[in-house]
Amino acid sequence: MKQYTYPAVFYFDEEYNQYAVEFSDICIYAEGDTMEETYANAQEYLKKYLDCCDELGVEPNTPGTYNWVEKEHPNGKTMLVTVDYEPKHNVEKKQETFTNLNDNIVENLEEDMVSSIENELDNDNPILKEIIKERIDRQKKADDDDGDDDFSLPEIE
C-alpha cells in the first residue's frame, strides 16, 4: 500500500452555496455541503484518478508543492489530501507518452474525416472527388515529411 499526498485548494462557492476543492496538479474538482464531506469527496476522486492511471499503465502526475499551490490560489484554503492506494496492476508495460496517445487519437480522427468526405462526395462529380483526394494525399505526405514524428514532451520531475 502506497500513500499519495496532493495539495488541494478548498473554497466556499457562494453561487452554489457549497464547498469545492481543486487539485491543480491533476485537474480534478469535487464539492460537498460541508468541509468534511468535500474532503472525503476529494479523497474519493483522488483514488479514482489513481485507478485511471493504474488502468492506463501510466505513473500519476508528480504533486506540486504546498507553497506553490497556496501562492497560485491565495483566496482559497490550501490543504494536503492523502490517500492510501494499492495498484491493482503491475505497471510492466512501457509508459506511452501523452504526445503519442494524442497522435493516435488525431490519426484516427483524420481517417474518419477522410472516410466521411469520401462518402459524402457525389459519385457523379469525379473531378471534385479527384481534387479532394489529391489534397488529402498531399497533406498526408506533408505530415509524414515534416520530421516531427519523434517529438515528445519532457517529463516533469
- pLDDT, tens only, 141-156: 766 665 544 444 455 4
Greatest alpha-carbon pair distance for the chain in Å reads 67
* Three-state secondary structure string covering 71-109: HHCCCCEEEEEEEEECCCCCCCCCCCCHHHHHHHHHHHH
Q: Is residue 8 part of a domain?
A: yes
> Are both 63 and 107 inside the same structural domain?
no
CATH number at residue 46: 3.30.160.250
pLDDT at 103: 54
> Are both 11 and 80 inside the same structural domain?
yes
> Are both 30 and 103 inside the same structural domain?
no
Per-residue pLDDT of 44-98, as tens digits, reads 999 999 999 888 888 898 999 999 999 999 999 999 999 999 988 765 544 544 4
- Whether pTM > 0.85 for this model: the answer is no
> Are both 29 and 81 inside the same structural domain?
yes
For the CA atoms of 82, 77, 7, 38, the dihedral, rounded to the nearest 10 degrees, stands at 40
Domain that holds residue 20: 2-85
